[in-house]
Every structure is written in C-alpha cells, then in structure tokens.
Structure 1
Amino acid sequence: MSFLDGKSLEPRDEAYRTHEITKKGLPLSAIWKGDANSISQLTVFRHFDSASVSEGFIGEGPNTVWVIDYPTLERIYYDLVVNFDVFGSVSHQILTRMYMDYLRMESEALFLSFLPVADREPILKHWYRGALAQAKVFYGHSHLLIDTPAAIHYGGKDPKNELIRMIGTRSMRSTHSARPTTNYVPSDLKVLDNLSAKKSLWLRYLPELSYVVVHDDHGEITNVISMVVNRAHANVSFIFGEEDRRIPEEDTLMLVNGLLGSYPNFIFWIDQSEIGKFADAAKQVSDTKSMDQWVARYGVRRTDPRIWSVLDRLHYYKQHYYKQKDGESEGLLDVSRYENL
C-alpha cells in the first residue's frame, strides 16, 4: 500500500460518518478527556534536532494541533518504535519520515474537522505555506475534513484556540488531576514571556533552549525557568532545506516553569534579587555587542570555570524536582549541544 492510498482512510471516514456520536459532526465529547491517572493532552516542544513532551497544554496558541485516534496512534507506534532501526539505511529512515508525514496530516485533519467548515482551509493554508499542494494530495483521499459538518458552537473569531481552551477546561474538570495545565512564571520574568521576534529582534541571538537558573545568596537553586524560542517555519513538510522555510519575524519566546528537554543550549545563572534586572537587560539587547555584554553578566559559557559546579547543582535540583513532580523521571542533562554564545 502506498502512502497516498486512500483505501486506508475510507473505512475510518465511514466509521466516523456512521457512528452515533459523530454522524452529525464531531462533538467535543468525541475527544477523550482523560481519567484519574492520565491526562489527555500533551504539549510537544521541538528543539530543532530533539524534542520534549509535557503533560497538559502549555503556552498560548500553538501553531499546529493534532487529534490522534487509536488507528493513527497505533501506526505512529509501529512506524517510530517497533519497526524503526536506528542503524538502518538512509532509505529506511527517509521512508519512516515520509510515512510519519501522513500520520501527522491525518491527525491535523482530525483536529480541523472539529472546527467550523469555513475556518478549516484558511488554517490549513497557514500550516502549509509553500507546500499546500502536497497537503491537498493527502486531503483529497480523506473526505472527513470535507464532508464533516461542524458540531460545536463557537462564540469568538478564533475557533482554533477556543477549541483548545474547551478541551483543556473540560479535561481538568473531569479528571481532578493534580498535574496542572497552567504555567507559573515569576512575575519579574513575565515581561519576556510570549515576546514576538517581530518586535523583539534580540530573540534571533538566543538558542532554542536555555535555562534561567535562579539561586539564593548561598548558591542554592530556588527555581528554574526554561526559555524556549519557538522557531517559525512556513511548513515542516520537507526533510532538507529547513532554513529556506524559516520565518524569523514570526519567532516567539516562551517561558516554562521547570526543566524542558534533555539538551540545554545555554544556562543563565541569576541571583534571585537580580531577576528584574536580568529581564530589563534582556530587552535592551539589540546587536551582537549588547548580547555579549548581557551573556557575560548573567550567562555561564562553556569556558566559564563555574560551569561544572553549576551543572552539578542543576542536576541535584533536577533530581529533586522530578522526584516531587513525577516520582520516576530522572536523568542527566546532555550538554553536547551546549553553546558558548
């Protein structure tokens, strides 16, 4: 069966069109709301050549959204886990990526099918700028996106984010989970959260994942904030030539409480009394010279004699943080991609 064989989608589409819950459109109740032990939403952060996954919805207005049903989840698992050979040939890895592209589009289409009919194609065009023809070849085989009427009433002009809020609110109310989907960031740093590169050009000088490590007068860590730069792309439909599809002015900065990722690109070591000054100085960065001054004052470069003691303290904090948060997830950070800025 080829990647574009519509026969694999026809039974699924027919099942949705005829099922009692979904035959008049996809209602909110068709999305699993989780249970007492599991939360049903995940936020995926892509850090160029790695990624991290967090439970719950984190941040404001994600660019793309997936709704994954069981057949798609099963094929993702077999494509990327069971049948993937780390030491396989280049063709094996390319075919794995190609098949994952269509699993991604299936999941995106399922999300779009919950939205008003008039909003589906504009969002699709935004997700596939420069590659819409490829996307439409797939969607030509899936009639779910085209034939499914809207079953949810939307009151605002941004149904995509309205639906995300509905899903998040409904899940938290139903599961009473102790794992929050909200994100706490110290008030002195909030001036940096959700900044856009269009107005804050200094974001282009930041790596994709930095840690702002806050410590007390004794050097004990009191908090860690992950500073994530969301790199914008016209689309992510091709393996090569990523820089050709970059849209730097659409980059955004997101601050997330705690440690994200396993490959930090940089660490800022901040006294808790200096958080406000750090944030103010960040907003003054306008060129490589001012960036160098900011990093020299607050950063820990690879050549900094403090780097190993800072990493030791961070690993100790990380072990304690994750034991409190998850009970099981522990591990060492990989600094092979750490930058000197």
Structure 2
Amino acid sequence: MIRRLAFLLIAALMGAPAPAALGPKPPPVPVADQAAAIDYDRDVQPIFNRRCIACHGCLGSPCNLKLDTFAGVQRGAFALNPYASHLGAYPRTDMDAASTLEEWRKIGFYPVLAQDGGARENLDGSLMYRMLAAGSANNRPGFSREALTPAYARRYAYACPATPAALEAQLAQNPAQGMPFGLPAIDPQDFDTLTRWIGAGAPGPTPRAQEAAARVTHPEAVARWETFFNDPDPRRQLVSRYIFEHVYLASLVLEEEPEAHFRLVRSSTPPGEPVAIIGTGLPYDDPYAYAGVKRFWYRLQKDIGAPMQKNLFLWRLKRADIAHLTDLFLGPDGPGAHWDAQAPLDPPWGIGNPFSVFRAIPASARARFLLEHAQTVSSGVIYGPVCLGQTATYAVKDHFWVFFLDPKADVSVQDPALGLATWNTFMDRSIFGNADYVDAYGKALAQLRPQGWSVDAVWNGGGTDRNAWLTVMRHGTNVSVVPGAQGGTPRTYWLMSYSGLERMYYDTVAGFKFWGGDLGKLETLLFFNYLRQEFEDNFLLLLPPADRRAVRDTWTQGIGSLALDLIPFAGADQPSEVKTDPARPLTALVAQIARHLGPTIAGPPDRLNPDLKPVVDLKTPLATYDDWERAIATLTVLQGQPFTRYLPSVILLRLNRGHESRVYSLVVNRVYASQYALIFQDGEAMPALYSLSVYPTVINGFPNLFIELDLEQAAPFLSALRGVASPADWDAFVGHYGILRNSARLWPFYDWITAWNFKQRKAEAGYLDLSYYDVPQ
C-alpha cells in the first residue's frame, strides 16, 4: 500500500518548504511600479494554471492550498493533513465552507502571502515566495530525484509550517523541498513576475475583471434552466431537489454556451441577483437552517476557476432537455405518471435516504433519470472533489464493464419497498443491514421474475444512449469512467439495479463526509465492497445457475473467499432465460449483450485492444499510425506478459509523424485475489494476470509518466517494452524513453499535452495533476 500510495505528494507536498540557502534576494521594486506592471488575470493566474495547480488544484491538495482561483490563493494554507489518520472530524475545507477571509482564518487557514508591507517585507513574510525561491535555487533540471525520498516516506505524518521561521527551519534540513515540489523550477521570467506581484502586495483581479469573468454569454439559457428548477409547484420542487442531490458536483455545460462550465447551487438570492451560495456540507442538509433564510433558489453559477481533469465531469444540457425532464417526471403517460399520493411532497431535510425522501416520485421516473445520466451520476462517485480517492477505491477492480437493469426487469422499480418493513434497511451500511436488503431483493426477484432474467433485462438505451454501457478503470487511488466498450474484454462485469445505483451514490457521494474521521471512511469502504459484490452477482444471474459459483469464486479469491461466505448471493439458485455456450459461458453472454445493446452503444471496434491479435513483425519499421496501432495491439489485454507488472498506472504517450501528433494512454490493469484486504493488495496481487489497455486519448487526470516518440522509434520502443522483465530492465527502459520529473523536457511536454487536451477535448478537458508523476515506488 505504501509504495502504491506513494503517488501522492500530499503531506510532503504540503510541507514542500524551501531551502536554507534561498539564493540572492531580488532587489525590491517600488510597490507602485510593481502594481502597475502586473495584472493578476493576465500575468499571475496563468502561471498558477501552468505550473502550480498541477499539484494545488483540488480539495486536499498539499497544505490544502488551492491555487485555481484568487479566492483560493488568498485563503491560504491549512496545517492539518487530510490524509493522516484521525478518528475525529476535521474542519471542512471545500471552498463553500466559508464566505469571508475572516471565517477562513477562524477555521485555521493561514496566509501564504504577506500583503500589507513594503516590497521587501512582503517577500520576506511570504511563504509562497520562499517556496518558489527555494525551488528556483535548487530544482533546476537535473536535480536529484532521490533527495525527496524521505519526504515521500513521511507524507502522511506531515504538518505544514505556518510561519516563515518554521518554513525556513524545514528548508534548512532539506533544500530540495522547494516549489514546484519534486519538479523542475518555474521559468526565471515566471519567477520574476511572481516576485514582483508578491512584492507589490499580491493584488487580485480588478472588479472589472471579476465582472467580465463571471459574465454569461447567453443569460437567456441560464434563465430558462433557473425557471425550470425554481417552479413553485410542490411536485416540481421535489423533482428539482432530487436532481440537485444527484448532479451537484457536476460541471454543467449548456448547449448555447459549450465552452463554459456552470454549477447547480442553492442560493439565498433569486435569479437576477448575484449568487449567494448556501454551502451546506452535504447536498441534503437543510438549506433553510444553514443560511437562516425562509426561501432559497436553485441557481446556475458560472465556474471561473481553472478546471482540473481529476475533478471534471459533465452534465450536458440541451434546450430540449427541459421538456424531456418535465415529461419524464410529470408527464401523464410517462414513467412519472403515477405519483404516490400518500408520500410527502416536502419531506424533512438532513436524511440521506433517497428511497424514503423521494418516495412520492415514481421509482420508474427516478430510475429512468439515473439511467439516462448514468455516466454523470457514476462520475460523481469517481471524480469527487478530493485529490485522493483513498481507501474507497480499494473496493473497485482495475477494469470492468458496467451494464444496467431495464426498469421493466428491475424489481427495485417494480416493487420499490422490496417487502421490507422500513426504508432504513436500504441505507443500513452494516453487514446485517446489507444482508437483509440482499435477501429481500432475492425474494422479490423470485416472486416477480420466477423464470429469471433474459438478455432483454439489460437496459439497451434505445440503441443510442451510450450511458447503457460504461467502462470503468482504477489507477491505484483514483478511477476513470468512459462510455462504451473500451480497453478490451475485462475479467469482471457489473449489472446495476436502480436501488443499487442509489445506494452506491448516497454512500460514496451525497452522504460522504470527506472531512470525517477514519471510522466513517472505513464504513464507506466496507459498504462499497458489499455493493460491488451485489453488482457482480447481478451479472452472474444472467448465467445458468450451474456456472455462477465457479465464476464468483474466480472473481474473488484469497481473503475475499471468506467474505463471500458472509455476503448473501441474491437469487443464486434462480433460473436464467439466457442460453450460453457451456464451454465459454461468460464470453457467450457478453456477446449476446453486445448484440442486444448494438454497435452505437458499444462504440466502434476497438482496434487497440482486440481479442483477435494481428501478426506484426516489430523488426520492420512502422510507417503509419495504422501500423503503430496494429503493432501495439499485439501487446494489449494479454495476461502473462512480464512487463505489465512494472508499469505505472497511466502513461501518456505522444507519437509524432512529421508535423502530426497523436496521444495515447497506456493503462495497466492490475488484478488482485480480492478487494477485501484492508492493508491493501500487495499481498493479494496476481501479477501473472496483469494486462495493458491502450486508449487513443487522455485517460485519467493523474499521469504517472510522459513519453514522446517519433514514429520511426515506435517499433524499437515496443520491442524494448516487451523485453522488460525485471526492475532493472524497467529502470533502463524509463531512463531511455521516459521524461523524468527532473528533466528539462517535462514542462514543455506538459504545456503541449495541456494545449492538446483543451483543443481536442474542449469542455471535457482540464489540467492534469502531477502529484503522482514519476515518484518513488
């Protein structure tokens, strides 16, 4: 666990202090001259975007210092390490937890800038300046990659220095801990700009610049959606509440304004006035009590911060979606036609149980909304606001496909209460509560579907909705999700019910307290394991009964085999209407599902990860990108290849052919005997089953290594990769092909991949985080 989680900079980064010898201090520039020369939006924030938010862009970044907006810069840092073990809760550190600088100081945030003195005083009193100066003095390209190994080793116990004197003492012990931490120093021109800005008192954006940044190009589009969400009809208000709780972390992209990101927030001010966010910790907390108001409004707030790839997932909204959502939840002939007249339309707040709170809304309408937005809702689980997914990701396997039950075949839609006496059982995270839920689901399934499921039980998205088939990948402590059948055929599969998806979302997103203590997070991990088992078991119910146990035992081995005896298998002996090939039941089943969903949902044929491998002679030069893709396909989704056990989670590869360049993500799929090992999986690793998947785009927000090749180098590169069979081989391979973190090539490559990402992927693109980049393992 320690080696794998070493990809975090976290504590060390947070401490990332500066050297004893800071180098010569630049002569102070008169404050008036500096202020006139520096414009925050034009000169300063772009430097933070290019060089700093690569580690300081998400919640829980080093020292909790968030540099994607001036508000985060001015808020400063916080000494408590969010990844250290702690039984009690920490203060909330999300940007909505306080609205004034005074409130942040009361929480415990301290300034990293000195803004009230002359130039020399501001520089001497600025933690940021001292860190940057230390990096500029000591982290020129070619610096020692080993110098920071001790800092990584103690990152979870690290507490950030809050004063220049404390910082100076730490830097005296390790001058290599300047900023950017463990990466080449920023350019002298950028350092000069930041020096002059800090010396001038670090002025922020002008009121005119702030107004321009917040300006909406199409206010009428925003107004339409705010009108929809704020309709006073009690049923519509309950629908808005339901939608908000499921998308509050998403970035909204309007059809009329495709380049901008918005947030759906609750505000104490009505449309037409500036947004005043009601920043409750959880989306179902009482907004009235929190803000002391008698009314609130749902608002679309434009996000002016630099987007981080790790946290970025979209909810795309077309103008026609307003009518569709209205019909979905309230139409006389649709899923929302029959509301429960006995259920309250204004249920109490503070209850993290969607089955109870929203029971007035027909389960068929709730289920349909989740299906049509499955990638967005699942992304809330996967792309949370914190930098590190922590132990919750241990319950997720490295590569699998997700399918969903059609509401017509889903007993949690057809019989929402499942015969249970209380809705509390649905969200009871104990092993006993989960067992009661699973038992009830199995009994309801036997009663409503006595012949079992056919392939038609899998939702096919009408043949066009790509939410019907998702590919999920885990990369150590973070996860990615993409639509369609990608990455080659995986080892395991999920089939999610409506109730299962709701339980997962409220456990890991809506009800998850990132600031909470270790016991609550442990409960989340254990419950996620139960849920994963439920979804895998649902998929196995499509197989003939005789085939299920053997597959289940193959998917979960080691210490997890003990857990299987404790976790019920709902419907284990129920029949299935699916006919499969007895020799290859899983393969035959997946093929039937693929035909049922159709090519639009599955996506185009996966040339990079095919089951049937081409024959390629790597001694022959590769002349085209087609040649390259056929060649690398000979290495993908194959078990037993020695090189896979040495790969980091994600490699971003730039392949050049003349003036053209393409980007590929090389992702390793690790396999563990089970996901139930709390001390994580090193002892349960099954490296003989590891494999490689390749994607023709940027995957994940935390690259571990950059590689740049010309096409004529591609064949030798693949031959060398195939030949890696030991740690020494890997070190030699990386030394020859990789861009190491002390390389002068690192920032130019990062700038190129950032520009490519934003140009090619547009609203889906964010800045990449380098916290995991080429760190000791």
TM-score, length basis structure 2:
0.40
Shift of residue 180 of structure 1? Answer: 1.7
Q: 1:291 aligns with which of 724, 727, 730?
A: 730
Q: Quick check: 1:45 aligned with 2:473?
A: yes
Deviations 1:59-89 (A, max 9, x none): 3332221100001011111101111000101
Shift of residue 156 of structure 1? Answer: 5.2
Q: Quick check: 1:183 aligned with 2:612?
A: no
Q: Which residue of 1 aligns with 2:770?
A: 335
Q: 2:751 aligns with which of 309, 312, 321?
A: 312
The range that moved more, 48-57 or 37-46, is 37-46
Shift of residue 274 of structure 1? Answer: 1.9
The range that moved more, 163-172 or 82-91, is 163-172
Q: 1:282 aligns with which of 721, 735, 743?
A: 721
8 Å contact kept, 1:55–1:181? no
Q: Which residue of 1 aligns with 2:648?
A: 207
- Per the alignment, do residues 51 and 33 of structure 1 end up closer, same or farther by CA in structure 2, a change over 3 Å counting? same
Q: Which residue of 2 aligns with 1:34?
A: 461
Q: 2:563 aligns with which of 109, 127, 134?
A: 134
Shift of residue 143 of structure 1? Answer: 4.0
Q: Which residue of 2 aligns with 1:255?
A: 694
Using the alignment, how far apart are the partners of 1:167 and 1:29 within structure 2? 8
Q: Which residue of 1 aligns with 2:366?
A: none
Shift of residue 182 of structure 1? Answer: 3.3
- Per the alignment, do residues 156 and 7 of structure 1 end up closer, same or farther by CA in structure 2, a change over 3 Å counting? closer
Shift of residue 181 of structure 1? Answer: 5.2
Q: Which letter does structure 2 place at the counterpart of 1:27?
A: S
Using the alignment, how far apart are the partners of 2:523 and 2:555 within structure 1? 22
Runs of 4+ in structure 1 off by over 6 angstroms are: none
Using the alignment, how far apart are the partners of 1:283 and 1:56 within structure 2? 28
How do 1:104-183 and structure 2 match up within 5 A?
A: 104-130=532-558, 131-139=560-568, 142-146=569-573, 148-155=574-581, 157-173=583-599, 176=600, 180=603, 182-183=605-606
- Per the alignment, do residues 127 and 278 of structure 1 end up closer, same or farther by CA in structure 2, a change over 3 Å counting? same
TM-score, length basis structure 1:
0.88
Q: Which letter does structure 2 place at the counterpart of 1:238?
A: A
- Per the alignment, do residues 245 and 287 of structure 1 end up closer, same or farther by CA in structure 2, a change over 3 Å counting? closer
Q: Which letter does structure 2 place at the counterpart of 1:209?
A: V
- Per the alignment, do residues 88 and 235 of structure 1 end up closer, same or farther by CA in structure 2, a change over 3 Å counting? same
Q: 2:523 aligns with which of 87, 95, 119?
A: 95
Using the alignment, how far apart are the partners of 2:684 and 2:486 within structure 1? 25
8 Å contact kept, 1:266–1:340? no
Using the alignment, how far apart are the partners of 2:592 and 2:738 within structure 1? 40
Deviations 1:15-55 (A, max 9, x none): 32233xx3211100111011434431111111111111111
Question: In the comparison of the two structures, how many residue pairs are matched?
Answer: 325
8 Å contact kept, 1:183–1:256? no
Q: Which residue of 1 aligns with 2:196?
A: none
Q: 1:243 aligns with which of 668, 677, 682?
A: 682
Using the alignment, how far apart are the partners of 1:296 and 1:96 within structure 2? 40
Using the alignment, how far apart are the partners of 2:667 and 2:592 within structure 1? 25
Using the alignment, how far apart are the partners of 2:727 and 2:645 within structure 1? 10
Q: Which letter does structure 2 place at the counterpart of 1:239?
A: L
Using the alignment, how far apart are the partners of 1:285 and 1:103 within structure 2? 37
Shift of residue 109 of structure 1? Answer: 1.1
Using the alignment, how far apart are the partners of 1:287 and 1:12 within structure 2? 48
8 Å contact kept, 1:52–1:261? yes
Using the alignment, how far apart are the partners of 2:438 and 2:775 within structure 1? 48
Q: Secondary structure at the match of 2:467?
A: coil
Structure 1 or 2, whichever has the larger Rg, is: 2
Q: 1:270 aligns with which of 709, 716, 724?
A: 709
8 Å contact kept, 1:68–1:110? yes
Q: Which residue of 2 aligns with 1:13?
A: 442
- Per the alignment, do residues 135 and 287 of structure 1 end up closer, same or farther by CA in structure 2, a change over 3 Å counting? closer
Shift of residue 161 of structure 1? Answer: 2.5
Shift of residue 96 of structure 1? Answer: 1.2
Q: Secondary structure at the match of 1:144?
A: coil
8 Å contact kept, 1:301–1:307? yes
Shift of residue 287 of structure 1? Answer: 3.4
Using the alignment, how far apart are the partners of 1:211 and 1:23 within structure 2? 49
Q: Secondary structure at the match of 1:53?
A: strand
User: Which structure has more RCO (C-alpha within 8 Å, separation ≥ 6)?
Assistant: 1
Using the alignment, how far apart are the partners of 1:294 and 1:10 within structure 2? 52
8 Å contact kept, 2:650–2:705? yes
Q: Which residue of 1 aligns with 2:500?
A: 72
- Per the alignment, do residues 301 and 114 of structure 1 end up closer, same or farther by CA in structure 2, a change over 3 Å counting? same
- Per the alignment, do residues 217 and 122 of structure 1 end up closer, same or farther by CA in structure 2, a change over 3 Å counting? same
Q: Secondary structure at the match of 1:59?
A: coil
The range that moved more, 262-271 or 240-249, is 240-249
8 Å contact kept, 2:702–2:770? yes
Using the alignment, how far apart are the partners of 1:107 and 1:340 within structure 2? 34
8 Å contact kept, 1:61–1:161? no
Deviations 1:171-219 (A, max 9, x none): 125xx45x725323312322222233x3x3232222121122112334x
Q: 2:452 aligns with which of 10, 13, 25?
A: 25
- Per the alignment, do residues 340 and 217 of structure 1 end up closer, same or farther by CA in structure 2, a change over 3 Å counting? farther
Task: Indicate the percent of aligned positions where both proteins have the same amino acid.
Answer: 26
Q: Which residue of 1 aligns with 2:18?
A: none
For structure 1, the 5+ residue unaligned runs are none
Q: Which residue of 1 aligns with 2:657?
A: 216
For structure 2, the 5+ residue unaligned runs are 1-427, 609-628
Q: 1:193 aligns with which of 636, 641, 644?
A: 636
Using the alignment, how far apart are the partners of 1:170 and 1:88 within structure 2? 43
Q: Which letter does structure 2 place at the counterpart of 1:172?
A: G
Q: Quick check: 1:322 aligned with 2:761?
A: yes
